[in-house]
Structure formats: C-alpha cells, structure tokens
Structure 1
C-alpha cells in the first residue's frame, strides 16, 4: 500500500534520540494506529508496549530482536515484528524511512 486514506494525522512530531528518530502518528477510522517515520544513521534502543510490525520502506539497517544473539539486516521492502513488552535495538546505516504498525494484544 503506497498511501493511506481516511485517516487522522497528528501534527505534533514524535522525536527521539535528539532528533535521530522522528515520526508522525496516523489513526485509522477503526482506531488502529501507525507511525510514519525517519531514522538517521545511529544505534537506537526501543521498548514496546504492544506488538509492533516495522515495515522498512527505504534505507538500510541491522536489527537485534529480543532473544536473538545476532543482528539481522533489513532494507527497503522488508519488515520485522517485535513482541509486546520487549526491547530491541537498531543500527541504522543509511537514512531509513519506516511505517510502524501497532497490533492490539487481546
């Protein structure tokens, strides 16, 4: 999907790591949320509250997922899933564009 329709977009940016990672929140009619963001080169650690699906639309990075001992490469056109209540690391090699989908845990 190259575009989203019938959504509400937050005007206020989510800014992390002194601007190294920024995003905007998109809310769909059914209440589901995604963020559209950009990551500058660097190493970042995030903690999740819910399951997150990270779709990399452009860029190049390595990801260390919870319970894993090896970093795995991801580029534009790939995605990975992070479990709820987990910590993961990203080593961003080039400016990376992403869509993060938040999955409700029932």
Structure 2
C-alpha cells in the first residue's frame, strides 16, 4: 500500500507533462537517491516507453493496461501494482482520472 505521507525527500519542481498535459507527474528522490514519481492520468489511451524497470501502483482509480508480450488488456484498480521491464513500452487506458506512484529501478 502507498504511504499517505513519505518523509525526507527531494522534489523536482519542474513537472513531467505528457500528452498535451493529459498525464502529469512530479519526480521525487529518496535519501538513497532512488527516484519515484507521483502523477495523474486523465481519461484516454496512452503508450509509455520505459527505459528503467518500473513498478507502478495505482493510488486511486482504475484503468486497463496492456503490458509487453500480452495480447489482452488487463483491468487494474487501486491499490494494484504492476511492473514493466526496462527497454519496453506499455499501454494504459483510463475512463476516469487515475492517480499513481511509479518507482524506477536502474538496470
């Protein structure tokens, strides 16, 4: 489960804005230097390219995802978690606003 409060972080003030503002997030860094983002996805279908391994947890809402090598869309809802291997892409479609937390892991 995502903690409601996370302490001792550094935040980048510049937002990450994708798809003409329909997906936004902010980057945070833990004391050990690892990065995560917290963001919002508005209704729509989006394709994300992944360079580092990502572990994504829905904080609020539900969506459908199509992960690499999968043929069928899969429904996920808060507090579900899914993982995307490095150097891949995945698709997500949302029918309402979705909030998420994404942890990044270097190869």
Q: Under TM normalisation by the shorter chain, which class is it?
A: over 0.9
Moved over 2 A (4+): none
TM-score, normalized by length of structure 2? 0.95
- Give the Cα separation in 2 of the matches to 1:93 and 1:21: 13
Match of 2:9 in 1: 7
Higher-strand-fraction structure: 1
- Give the Cα separation in 2 of the matches to 1:10 and 1:28: 12
- Give the Cα separation in 2 of the matches to 1:28 and 1:100: 13
Match of 1:22 in 2: 24
SS across alignment from 1:102: strand
SS across alignment from 2:20: helix
Alignment gaps of 5+ in structure 2: none
Alignment gaps of 5+ in structure 1: none
Deviation of residue 60 (structure 1)?
Answer: 1.3
TM-score, normalized by length of structure 1? 0.96
**How many residues are aligned here?**
105
